[in-house]
Chains A and B, each alone.
Chain A
Amino acid sequence: MLSDNEIIKRLTAVFQDVFDDDTLVITAETTADDIEDWDSIEHITLIGAVEDEFGMRFKMGEVSGMNDVGEMIDIIRSRGK
C-alpha cells in the first residue's frame, strides 16, 4: 500500500507538470479554486495524468465527485500502485 507521503509527492509532480508550475504545493485541502488554471478542461488532463502515474482508473462518478485533493488521495490510496 502506498503511504500518503509518497502519494502526495508523486501527485505534486503530476500537478506541477500539468499546470507547468514547479512551485505548486499540493495538500489534502487543495481544491480547484486554489489553482487558477484548474478548470473543467484541465481537469480532464489532470485525471488522465494521475491515472497514468498511479496505474489505475477513476470511476466515472468519482471523476466529477471529488471535492478536494484529499478525496483524490483516498481513492489513490485504495487502488493506486
Chain B
Amino acid sequence: MKELEYPFDSGYIMKKKRSIRKQLLAELAKDENSGGTISKRIAVLGGSTTADIVSVLELFLLDAGIKCEFYQSEYGMYWQDAVFGNEELDAFHPDIIYIHTSFRNLEFLPEPNMTEEQVESGYQSEMSRFCQMWDSIEKKYGCPVIQNNFEQPYFRLLGNSDASDFRGRVNFVSRINTGFYSEIRRRKNLYLNDINWLSSMYGLEKWSSPEYWYMYKYSLNISAIPELCYQTASIIRSLFGRTSKALALDLDNTLWGGIVGDDGAENIVIGQESAEAMAFSEWQKYLKSLKSIGILLTVCSKNEEENAIAGLEHPDGTLRPDDFTVIKANWEPKDRNIISSAQEINIMPDAFVFADDNPAEREIVRSQIKGVKVPEIGEVTDYIRVIDRSEFFEVTALSEDDLKRNDMYKANAMRYNASRQFENYEDYLQSLEMQAEIKPFAPVYYQRIAQLTNKSNQFNLTTRRYTPAEIETFAQSDKFITLYGKLTDKFGDNGVVSVVIGEKTGENLDTLDIKLWLMSCRVLKRDMELAMLDSLVKEAKEQGISALVGTFIPTAKNKMVKDLYEQTFGFSPLDSNADGETRWMLCLDDYANKNKVIKINM
C-alpha cells in the first residue's frame, strides 16, 4: 500500500489506522489462496505503553502478507513476563517476542557523586537484568527475540563530558548498548532494533518530547510510532525471509546524469568534477556495496545495448557491466524486462526493487507487477537515503551463501546459455560436472538452512518454517534424520540448495515421516532431488528404517511438486484428505539409486 511506503506520512497513518487495517485485511482476503500469506503470533513486552505500537506494527506486517495475533504485557511488566512468564503468555506460544524498552526503563543511572566502581556495578546489574530475561525466554519459548537498544538521553547534566565521563548518562547508554551488541552477537536468537540510530535520524528532540511520557507513558513522541514500527516490521519481515532480492536499475539520470544515447558516453555526469557527478558516484558505490551483502543488480534501461555498455564503462564510474547479473537495454516495456530478468535468474518478479528517475516508468512497473517495490526515489541526492530507509534488504543474518550470491547467479546465467548447445538433456547434465555434498545438518549451515525454510515456496512439499534454533534441535536429536544438499558444478558453487528433515515414527521407529523437503529453484531440472533421495534412503537404512512416508501439503505456490513423490520418486499412494493433502509411501527393501549425473560427497 502506497501510504505505508517510505517516506510515509506519520500523521496520516495514525489518524487513518482503522480504515487502513480494514483495507489491508480485505486485500489479504482476496489473495487468500495465493499461499503468500503467513500467520504469526507476536508477543510485545513493553516497559511503556504499547497499544498504538501494536496497532501500527500490525499495519506494516499485514502489508507484507504477515497476519498477526498479538500479546501485550500488562503495563510495564516486560521483565516479569520474560522471567516468570504467565498463563496467558505461555498459552500464546509466541513466534517472536519484541521487547520494547527505552531509556525510561534503565533502573540504574550514574550520578555525579558516584565512584567508578559504583557505576561499574550498576552497569553489571543492568546487563544481568536483561541477560536474565533473554536466558529465560530462550529456555521457555525458544523463539527469536527483537530487543530495542537505548536512545540518547534528552538532556546532558555534564554537558559534552556526559559522553566521555563515566558518570555521564550519555556515556552509560553508550556502554549498555555496546554490552547489548556483544550479547546479540553471542546469542543465536537475539536481534537488535536500533532505536538509538532511528531516533537520531528522526530527530532526538522531537522523538524524546517528554510530554508523551508524562501524559500517556509512551517512551517516544507518538508521531514517531510509525517510524519505529516500520523498522520493527522490517526486522520481522527479514526473519521470515520476506526481503527483496534484486534491484533493477535504470541508467540515464539514475546511474549517471544525462542521457548516454544523446550526450555520448564520455559526457555523462559521473566522477568528481561537479557536485552532481559526485552524487552519482557515491550512489554507484553504494549500489556496488549492496552486491557484497548478496543483493543482485540488473539493468533495465531504454537504450541501445552498446550505449548502455559504453556508459557503464566510463572510466570514472564504479559499476561495470560485469557487476550486473542481467542487462536489459532495449525498447521493450520495462515491466516485461523485469519479468524476463526474474525468469532468467529464477526468482519471483516481486522480489525486485525497481529504481528509475522517471515517474511514468515507475508507474507502469508498479501497476503491472504485483508486489514489486518501486520507491519514489526523488533526486540523486535522495537515492541512497530512500533505498536505505525503505529497508528492502534488511539483513538479520549474513550467510556465506549471501556473500557469494552474485557469483552464483552469474553462473546460473552462464548455465542457462550452455544448456542450449546440447543434443540431449542428459548429455548437458553430464557436462556440468556436478558434485554434491549431502550430509546431516552441520552447525555452520544452520542459519542458511533456516533461511531456506523461510524463503522457499515453490519446490516445497510441506512449507514448514523454522528458526535457526529449531534447526539445531532437529540436528542434535536422534529422533530425526536431517540432510542438507550443497551443489557445485563447473560454473561454480550453488551453496546449500536442498533441505530434508525426517522424523522416526512407528512402534519400532522403523518408518521415517518426511516433515520437510525443499529445494531452491536455482537448481531445478538437475536431478538434485534424486541425489537427495538416494542419500536419504542410504542414511535411513543405516538407521534401521524400512519405509519412507512423504506428505504433500498444497499451497498456491507449490503446484510443481504435487506429483513429486509418485512420479519422480516412485512412492505409492497412502491416503489423502479433503484439504488436498496427500501422503505417499516407499518401501526401502529393493531401492535402486536414481541419480546418474551428480557425484556425491567426493
Contact across chains for A18 and B18 when beta carbons are under 8 A apart = yes
CB distance from B28 to the nearest CB of A (A): 18
CB distance from B599 to the nearest CB of A (A): 62
Query: CB of A1 within 8 A of chain B?
Result: no
Contact across chains for B22 and A45 when beta carbons are under 8 A apart = no
Query: CB of A20 within 8 A of chain B?
Result: yes
Partner of B215 from A18, A19, A49, A60 at Cβ < 8 Å: A60
Contact across chains for B14 and A19 when beta carbons are under 8 A apart = no
Q: Which of B192-222 contact A (CB under 8 A)?
A: 211, 214-216, 218, 222
User: How far is A63 from B214 in the complex, measured between Cα atoms in Å?
Assistant: 12
Q: Contacts A44-B216, A44-B222: A49 and B15 contacting too (C-beta < 8 A)?
A: yes
Q: Which residues of A contact B5 (CB under 8 A)?
A: none
Q: Which residues of B contact A64 (CB under 8 A)?
A: 215
Find the B residue at minimum CB distance from A44: B216
Partner of A41 from B19, B22, B51, B223 at Cβ < 8 Å: B51
Interface flags for A1-26 (1: CB within 8 Å of B; 0: not) read 00000000000001001111000000
Q: Which residues of B contact A52 (CB under 8 A)?
A: 11, 15
Contact across chains for A17 and B211 when beta carbons are under 8 A apart = no
Partner of A19 from B18, B51, B214 at Cβ < 8 Å: B18
Contact across chains for A49 and B52 when beta carbons are under 8 A apart = no
Contact across chains for A48 and B22 when beta carbons are under 8 A apart = no
Partner of A45 from B17, B211, B214, B215 at Cβ < 8 Å: B17
User: How far is A14 from B16 in the complex, measured between Cα atoms in Å?
Assistant: 9
Contact across chains for B11 and A45 when beta carbons are under 8 A apart = no
The residue among A14, A19, A41, A64 with the most chain B CB atoms within 10 A of its own CB is A41
Q: Which of B7-26 contact A (CB under 8 A)?
A: 11, 14-19, 22
Find the B residue at minimum CB distance from A21: B18
Q: Which of A23-47 contact B (CB under 8 A)?
A: 41, 44-45
User: How far is A60 from B213 in the complex, measured between Cα atoms in Å?
Assistant: 11
Q: Which residues of A contact B19 (CB under 8 A)?
A: 17, 20
User: How far is A17 from B19 in the complex, measured between Cα atoms in Å?
Assistant: 8
Q: Which residues of A contact B211 (CB under 8 A)?
A: 60
Number of A residues whose C-beta is below 8 Å from B? 14
Contact across chains for B222 and A48 when beta carbons are under 8 A apart = yes
Interface flags for A57-71 (1: CB within 8 Å of B; 0: not) read 000100110000000
Q: Which residues of A contact B218 (CB under 8 A)?
A: 44
Partner of A48 from B14, B18, B51 at Cβ < 8 Å: B14
User: How far is A18 from B211 in the complex, measured between Cα atoms in Å?
Assistant: 22
Contact across chains for B222 and A20 when beta carbons are under 8 A apart = no
Q: Which of B36-83 contact A (CB under 8 A)?
A: 51-52
Interface flags for B214-250 (1: CB within 8 Å of A; 0: not) read 1110100011000000000000000000000000000
* Contact-residue size bin, chain B (C-beta under 8 Å from the other chain): 10 to 19
CB distance from A30 to the nearest CB of B (A): 18
Q: Which residues of B contact A48 (CB under 8 A)?
A: 11, 14-15, 222-223
CB distance from A65 to the nearest CB of B (A): 11
CB distance from A22 to the nearest CB of B (A): 10
Q: Which residues of B contact A63 (CB under 8 A)?
A: 215
Find the B residue at minimum CB distance from A22: B19
User: How far is A7 from B222 in the complex, measured between Cα atoms in Å?
Assistant: 24
Find the B residue at minimum CB distance from A50: B15
Q: Which of B333-387 contact A (CB under 8 A)?
A: none
Q: Contacts A41-B52, A44-B216: A17 and B11 contacting too (C-beta < 8 A)?
A: no
User: How far is A19 from B22 in the complex, measured between Cα atoms in Å?
Assistant: 12
Find the A residue at minimum CB distance from B19: A20
Q: Contacts A41-B51, A60-B211: A49 and B11 contacting too (C-beta < 8 A)?
A: yes
Q: Which residues of B contact A20 (CB under 8 A)?
A: 16, 18-19, 22
Contact across chains for B18 and A49 when beta carbons are under 8 A apart = no
Q: Contacts A44-B222, A48-B11, A49-B11: A17 and B215 contacting too (C-beta < 8 A)?
A: no
Q: Which residues of A contact B216 (CB under 8 A)?
A: 44
CB distance from A80 to the nearest CB of B (A): 16
Q: Contacts A41-B51, A41-B52, A44-B52: A18 and B15 contacting too (C-beta < 8 A)?
A: yes
Q: Which residues of B contact A44 (CB under 8 A)?
A: 52, 215-216, 218, 222
Q: Which residues of A contact B22 (CB under 8 A)?
A: 20
Find the A residue at minimum CB distance from B218: A44
CB distance from B474 to the nearest CB of A (A): 42
Q: Which residues of B contact A14 (CB under 8 A)?
A: 15
Q: Which residues of A contact B52 (CB under 8 A)?
A: 41, 44-45
Q: Which residues of B contact A45 (CB under 8 A)?
A: 14-15, 17, 52, 222
Interface flags for B539-566 (1: CB within 8 Å of A; 0: not) read 0000000000000000000000000000
Q: Contacts A20-B22, A48-B223: A60 and B14 contacting too (C-beta < 8 A)?
A: no
CB distance from B209 to the nearest CB of A (A): 10
Contact across chains for A17 and B222 when beta carbons are under 8 A apart = no
The residue among A18, A44, A64 with the most chain B CB atoms within 10 A of its own CB is A44
Partner of A60 from B11, B18, B214, B222 at Cβ < 8 Å: B214
CB distance from B62 to the nearest CB of A (A): 15
Q: Which residues of B contact A17 (CB under 8 A)?
A: 15-16, 19
User: How far is A17 from B22 in the complex, measured between Cα atoms in Å?
Assistant: 13
Find the A residue at minimum CB distance from B223: A48
Contact across chains for A49 and B14 when beta carbons are under 8 A apart = yes
Q: Which residues of A contact B11 (CB under 8 A)?
A: 48-49, 52
User: How far is A36 from B188 in the complex, measured between Cα atoms in Å?
Assistant: 45
> What are 8 A-to-B residue pairs whose CB atoms are below 8 Å?
A17-B16, A20-B16, A20-B19, A41-B51, A48-B14, A48-B15, A48-B222, A64-B215
- Extra pairs beyond A20-B22, A49-B15 (7, CB < 8 Å): A14-B15, A17-B16, A17-B19, A20-B18, A20-B19, A49-B14, A60-B215
In the A-B complex, the 5 residue pairs with the closest CB atoms? A20-B18, A49-B15, A52-B11, A20-B19, A41-B51
Q: What is B's interface to A at a CB cutoff of 8 Å?
A: 11, 14-19, 22, 51-52, 211, 214-216, 218, 222-223
Q: What is A's interface to B at a CB cutoff of 8 Å?
A: 14, 17-20, 41, 44-45, 48-49, 52, 60, 63-64
